[in-house]
Each structure stands twice: as structure tokens, then as C-alpha cells.
Structure 1
């Protein structure tokens, strides 16, 4: 009941009670009157503050609501007054999580009834994830500072901090991934002008899609089918096992792996590949990334923003992790048993690529022999392997080395 009293109000109430006890002991009626007044004052302030009508409202706008880790977003607080008189002396505090910085605090001398006021503060997410900003709170008190009540002006707002995406260059050589800048052309190999996919003209089709050779050959109007044939695509595997990674916070090796996976998936999608993203347990995070639909890219980044480390300790594959397609696996600490799980169900003729993280380097230790042993075993099984030596290793450098290894491998295969 008395929780709304401030320290000043509690001290005044305690003083009044003490004065009243002394007045009763000493039989001093004047002191008793003073004590009654001192006791009544904070209680009256408490009652009036609790019953006052508060005519202030607020709404929050985050621009943009989705931002990359380390980038800036602006939070706008639109404060308006709906009461008869202007609200003054407000203290506002927005509940910003620690990963977005400290809690911003504002003191408003006055909030005009018409037009309101806009407060803006920046947030720079230090950690990937789904963050919730809010609630926005203020405190209402009496002029004497004896009582104070907390009021919520706005609830929580969702903000997505996506993993960092770096721009990659080139494509791994050979197979469905193409060779360097000619990858897209190789995907279309065998589907020339004469073999274009066509169908009969339908009402509403764009006349620019008419395939004149097929029209002349069949003596009826034929149009191109824009959908490209399915080439099997690429499966990207993210190893998110907490036991397979090292480091703390934003410098954890799993964050490096997530950033690498995001960069690889978007890079392949921009080059016309159909990409499927799965985790170490075979669970798909997203399907069919790619094409002209930018919403799929956003879905990929949202999925990776929400990824949490898995308690699973070992890699266990009940089926081929690539589902028969080409596979790019970004792996944490990989044991001999894990290598066996990855390779036992993979077809020998299907392209398999692994990016191995020397996770001990994320703790400041040496890379160790485990990474070299895992890389040797994967290469023996026909995999292309690149090792990321530590947190300072650029993703672009790893990708460049991977493209170089596949090109060298294809050249050697042609010479044989």
C-alpha cells in the first residue's frame, strides 16, 4: 500500500509516527496535532498521485526494424498529451537491452497538447538476435516529491539484428556451382535457344515472352517459361553445436560460422543457385533461397538471427546431409566420429566442401592437431577442405582459397 512513497515521503511518515508516540508519552497535545499533520501529508500525496488522470501517450518507431550487427538504427519516441493541460516535468526511460547499449533516459520540461514531441536515440546492436525494446516508462509524483507511481506509456517493439554479411567474389569451380564468373552460364549448359522451355500462349501473357521459333515450328503461339529447370541446387550446413565452438559473446566461433553461412548463401543465391540451409541435425532453416524474391533473403537473415547454439554434442546423420545435392558444410570442432558420420552417406561423385574452424584459436590457444586430422580424413574421402585459422581470418579469404582449391582440383582432373 505504501510502495508508492518516495524516500522523502517514508522519512516524513516515520517522523510523524515518532512525533505522535512522543506526544502520547509526554501528553503534549500540540505535538500530537503536528504529528497528525505530518502523517497525513504523505498519505494524502500518495492518494492523490494514485488517482490522478494521466493524459500522456507514446508510440515507438524503429528505423530500420532489421539491421546488421554493428550497424545503426534510430528509435523514435512520439510523445503526445491528450489531457486538458500540458504535461510537464516528465522523466522517461526506455527499456533497451544491454546488447543495444544503455537505457536512454529523457527529461521533458513540457509536452504540448497539440503536436506532441519526438525523441530520437540511436542503437547499435553488438550481438545478433531478436531484441525487444521497451517498455517505455515514466513516473508521476506530487509537487512535494513525497509519492511517485510508475506508468507504462508504450509496450515492447521487436528489432532484428542480423549476422554480418560480407561480399564474396567468384564461385567454386566444377559441377553445378560453375567456374568463377562463368558459373551461371554453365548452369544453363544444355538449355540453349532451341531447347528453351515453352508452353502455349495464354490470355494475359506478355507478348515479349513469345518464342518465335517454336511458334513457327508448331504453327501456334508459344511463350517462354520463365522458371528455370531445377539443377539440384546446393545445401549449406551450419554446425551450431555449442560443444563444437569456443569463445564468448560476439567473438564466439559460432558467430563467425553464422556470418560465413549467411554470406555464402546470399552469394550463391545472387548467382542463380537454389540454396537450402540446414543445421547439424538435418533440420532445414530455410528452403529454396534465391531467385528474384528479396523476401527469401530476409527470411534467411531472420532465421539466422534467431539461431541458438544446440546442446547436441556429436554429429549424427541419419541420411545424407546434402540430400544428394552438392554440400558446403561450415563445421566447428570435428572429431573422427563426426567425419565418419558426414562421409558415410555422401555419394562419392557429388561435390562436398567443408570449411573447418580451428575453434581453439577463438580462446587464444593454438589450432591443434585435431583440425589437421579432420581435414586430412575429409580430403581422403574426396572433400574439398579449407581451414579458418581464427577469429581474425576474413571470410572473403576463406572463400577465395576454397575457389582456388576447386579450380586447381578441376585442372588436375582434366590433365589426368
Structure 2
């Protein structure tokens, strides 16, 4: 119980006890009365402060509970007094992580017992993630500074700092159809064997895959693709490997990649496409986002807010990362072996697009893998590739260039 006394209170209590002993030895009744008062004062302060701490309640409101990085949220603390004794001289401190700034501290001279009091402060998350605000602690001190009690008034509240989303324009040609050729080239003709998916013949296709009925009907060579049926939708791959990125904090290349993925996924979903988001190891972060009223946007942003770098050194794919869908990959530094992993299980007739980050530009490092060599290897495998040169490269510009490549490719095929 005496642990609630401050240094001043303990010194005053010790002085009262010493004065009381001297009064008894010297038989001084006046001094004994003074010592009794000196001893009673800190003990009374201790008792009253202990009663007050149980008569204070608080709750926290975070508005809004989800904000983009760099945007403001307001935290409101509703303090109320419910005890018989007035709660005066409260010191409040709310715990906040480093990414939200300094810990706010308040002093409330009086807490009304009817209606309470509201104090608020702003927070601006500097880093993407799920941040926990709290606990809210108070220090109740008596007017003389003789006793002090610490108490936790409120637990933790969650604030989700989502990645920044950039508005994009346009779509890749025939996006969501699953392959790079014109969607009208795919057809379902008749029944039975004629139900096979077909497309135009390409140089190097196996002659055994020619669909002769469709060829006769269209008067041009058509080949079967029924081995891998078409599935609508787009798979977006986020490369979150720590070894593949450079830079620190909000200006790192991995944050640029997360922001790009968020922008691409939401843009595709807003245009009615089904979007599946996976990481470099094929682990799905979301399934079936889009194609509705956008109710799943928060799910996508929450998933990206919680993404953390992976210790995996290189890309390793045990299966097609696109799962038979059109694939858009946002990649950090990729080695020749990583490129081979990406391309070996991808069907050639399925469209694949990549955004390669020139990660050395994020910290001025001149070393690392040559991104142009990786881009050439991917293009040789039939991928559309755009290189993001550095942290100042606008995501919208990269997306526009990627869409332009697919439109040029589609025009060339039609010609």
C-alpha cells in the first residue's frame, strides 16, 4: 500500500515518525500532536487517491479505423468519473507505436462526474501496417503530490494503415480473357468434341493440336487449348522477398511494389474483373476480389497492410503462379534462375505481364542483378515487361506503358 507514496510523501512520513519518536523520548505532547498530523497527511492522501483511481473510466474511439499511409485519423478519449470523490489532477498517456509519432500526454484538472470529458489528438501513420494504439494509462496524484497511482483505463485499439492507391487509367487489351489473343478467337462450337476451346495457329504449335472442324469453318488453322481450359480473371503476384528489394521505410522498393499491386488490383476490380492476389511463393492473399459492388476492397487493403517481407532468397514456383489465369507480376530483383522458375510452368498461350523494379535506384547502389537482362529473358518467353526505374517513377505511367504494350501486341496479332 505504501508503494503509492511519492518521494515527497515518503520523506514526510519518515519525518513524522522521527518526530513522534523524539516526542515520546522527550515527553513533548505538542511535538507528538505535530508528528501525528505529519504522519496522517500522506496516509490520508494515499487512501483518497486509491479511492479515486477506481472511480475513473475511459474508452477510445479511432475515426476512421482505416486510413491510407500519410493520411490523418483522429483518436478520441472519452473520460468519465463515476466515483463518490472527484477525480482531479489526472495525467493521461496513450501508448502509440513509433510509426504514429510521439506518445500523447494530457493533464486533466477536473473530470466531471456527469457527462465526462473528451480529449482528442491526431495520428498520421508514416508506415503501412496494422498499428495498435494503447494502452491508455493514467497517473492519479493528490493536490499535495504525496501519493500517486498508475492505472490502465483502456486497452488497445487497431488502426489499419493501408498502402497508397494510385488512380490508373485503361486496361490491357483483352484483359481478363486469360490469353493474349483476341477474345473472339476463342469459341465454343457445337457440342461434344466441338466444345473444345480453340485459338488461331501460332508458329511452333504442335500440328496434332489442330482442330480441323474449326479450321474448315473459319478457313484458317485453329488449334485446341482444351488441355488448360480458359478461366476468366487475373492473378496479380507481389514479390515481397526482402533480398529482392532495397531501401528502408516508406520510401523502400517493397512499399512501391505494394502500392502498385494495390492500385492494379483495385483498378481491375472496379472494371468488373475477378482478381486473385498471390505472393512470390504462390500463397494466396485474397481470392475472387472484384466483379461486384466493391465490398471486398477493404479485405484486399487489409491483406496488403499486413504483408511483411519474406526471407525467401529466390523465386521458387512448384506450380504455375497464375494458376492458368492471366498473370501480372510486380517483381523486385530477379535472377536468371528466378526468371526460369516464373516461366517454366506458364502456358505460352496465356498472357503474362511483369513490372520489374530497378531496385538499385532505391538506395543508389550500383550493384546487383542487371534488370535489363531479366527483362530480355522474360520478353523472349513471351511476357510483356515494363521496368520501373526508381522511387520517383509514377505507378500510373508504368501501368499506361504496360497497357500500351498489350494493345500493340493485340493489333499485331489482328494484322
What is aligned with 2:169?
Answer: 169
Give distance in 2, aligned partners of 1:86 and 1:19: 33
What is aligned with 2:128?
Answer: 128
Change (3 A) 1:178 1:401: farther
**Contact 2:90–2:141 (8 Å) recurs in 1:** no
Q: Secondary structure at the match of 1:323?
A: coil
Deviation, 1:17, is 8.0
Give distance in 1, aligned partners of 2:132 and 2:168: 31
Where do 5+ consecutive residues of structure 2 fail to align?
Answer: 189-229
What is aligned with 1:247?
Answer: 247
2:281 is aligned with 1:281: yes
Give distance in 2, aligned partners of 1:276 and 1:100: 31
Deviation, 1:46, is 3.7
Give distance in 2, aligned partners of 1:251 and 1:168: 21
Q: TM-score under structure 2 normalisation?
A: 0.80
Deviation, 1:28, is 6.6
2:265 is aligned with 1:265: yes
Deviation, 1:150, is 0.7
Taking the TM superposition and a 5 Å limit, the aligned residue runs for 1:93-172 are: 93-172=93-172
What is aligned with 2:301?
Answer: 301
Deviation, 1:359, is 1.2
What is aligned with 2:376?
Answer: 376
**Contact 2:52–2:86 (8 Å) recurs in 1:** no
**Contact 2:135–2:156 (8 Å) recurs in 1:** yes
Q: Secondary structure at the match of 1:80?
A: strand
What is aligned with 1:362?
Answer: 362
Give aligned pairs, total. Answer: 370
Deviation, 1:111, is 1.9
Change (3 A) 1:340 1:37: same
Where do 5+ consecutive residues of structure 1 fail to align?
Answer: 180-184, 192-229
What is aligned with 1:235?
Answer: 235
What CA deviation, in whole Å up to 9, does each residue of 1:253-285 have, x standing for no partner? 111111100000010111111110001111100
Taking the TM superposition and a 5 Å limit, the aligned residue runs for 1:162-201 are: 162-174=162-174, 176=176
**Contact 2:243–2:313 (8 Å) recurs in 1:** yes
Give distance in 2, aligned partners of 1:152 and 1:319: 51
What is aligned with 1:77?
Answer: 77
What is aligned with 2:212?
Answer: none
Deviation, 1:368, is 5.9
**What RMSD, in angstroms, separates the aligned Cα atoms of the two structures?**
3.1
**Contact 2:93–2:103 (8 Å) recurs in 1:** yes
What CA deviation, in whole Å up to 9, does each residue of 1:305-336 have, x standing for no partner? 11111111111100000011110011111011
**Contact 1:359–1:367 (8 Å) recurs in 2:** no
Change (3 A) 1:323 1:361: same
**Contact 1:171–1:177 (8 Å) recurs in 2:** no
Q: Secondary structure at the match of 1:295?
A: coil
Q: Select between 48-57 and 99-108 the one with higher mean Cα deviation.
A: 48-57
**Contact 2:178–2:233 (8 Å) recurs in 1:** no
Change (3 A) 1:332 1:116: same
Deviation, 1:94, is 1.4
What is aligned with 1:403?
Answer: 403
